[in-house]
Amino acid sequence: MADLVKGATKEVTLIAPFIKKDILEKTVAAVPASVDKIECVTRWTPAEVAAGVSDPEIIEVALSDERISVALCPALHAKLYRADHRCLVGSANLTGKATGRIPNANIELLVEAHVSHPEVQRVLHQIQSHSVAATPRTAALVRQQAELLKAERMASRPENDPAALWYPETRRPENIFALYSGRARFTSRVEDGIIRDLAVLNMPAGLSEYEFNAEVEVRLHALPDLAKLLAGHRLSSLELQHAIAERTGDTEDQARRTTETLAAWLRHFGQYYAEVGSWELRLGREHT
């Protein structure tokens, strides 16, 4: 890696799902001062950051060197390192274990290719089409979620995984993407609830609103209490409330509040609407 970037004259591109701050700093230090463009593309998910395999703090490296830009590609799995027309492609992330900078390093593969290779061009085009610029706000939000996941997992028994017992907390589901995307800020109490929901959802940073909504719907469908609804049947508020109370041990009032919140999420993120009355959730859009 160091030999590759040392030979650059114009631009360097570093593409990897996992990038650690210290390894990025060492890699950038090897880039000649004459190079005026260093592009870094990665992905950030709360769970991966909590596991320590990726650092959103690489944004600080970019802020300290105007040549560096950081972009996020949520679906990124490719590892590609480019210096002008030369590339290394393979399995190695930009981490200590992958680059051999720490003991017990991974067994990795990086093969040289020319930037004009059709597959290299295809991947570069896809990455460019699906990437968004990272910001300090995005980095801070992902770090908050990661720290929350670490704290909750340390405090819980293995059989009580926070994700396994999750129900939405945020009462207004439209606020979720507003905070995630940086479009809006809320009071600290509201933001705390949104961050808890986002942490368990483990959303990769950089999704469009359409992609975000689709991912949330998938996660809602994983809730066992919605099996009847997903089978195409109606689901009454009382049925859902009793199922939640039985699963969580919540009081009637707590279960009712959770039921109302979950119904709001299903209406916002999915193809569901609630009929008037004691209300029942049904698959499909509400008639107007």
Mean pLDDT value across residues 31-55: 97
pLDDT confidence bin for 277, thresholds 50/70/90: very low
Q: What is the pLDDT of residue 152?
A: 82
Q: What is the pLDDT of residue 282?
A: 64
Q: Which domains does the chain have, with CATH numbers?
A: 2-133 (3.30.870.10), 156-283 (no CATH)
Q: Work out the mean pLDDT of the chain and round it to a whole number.
A: 89
Is 236's pLDDT higher than 60?
A: yes
With tokens 């606020």, the residue in question is: 175
Q: What angle do CA 262, 205, 265 make, to 5 degrees?
A: 10
Query: pLDDT tens digits, residue range 113-168?
Result: 999 999 999 999 999 999 999 999 999 999 999 999 999 876 555 455 555 678 99
Lowest mean pLDDT among 129-138, 163-172, 227-236, 263-272: 227-236
Q: What is the pLDDT of residue 234?
A: 73
Q: What is the pLDDT of residue 101?
A: 86
pTM, full prediction: 0.88
What percent of the chain is modeled with pLDDT above 90?
Answer: 69
Q: What is the pLDDT of residue 221?
A: 85
Greater pLDDT, 194 or 228: 194
Q: What is the pLDDT of residue 287?
A: 44
Q: Both tokens of residue 269?
A: 């993120």
Q: What is the pLDDT of residue 273?
A: 64
Length of the chain: 288
Mean pLDDT value across residues 35-57: 97
Q: What is the pLDDT of residue 288?
A: 43
Q: What is the pLDDT of residue 237?
A: 81
Is 83's pLDDT higher than 70?
A: yes
Q: Which residues on neighbouring strands pair with residue 38, listed in sequence order?
A: 12, 68
Residues 255 and 248: beta-carbon distance below 8 Å: yes
Q: Both tokens of residue 280?
A: 């029942």
Is 286's pLDDT higher than 70?
A: no
Is 245's pLDDT higher than 70?
A: yes
What percent of the chain is modeled with pLDDT above 70?
Answer: 89
Query: pLDDT tens digits, residue range 175-220?
Result: 999 999 999 999 999 999 999 999 999 999 999 999 999 999 999 8
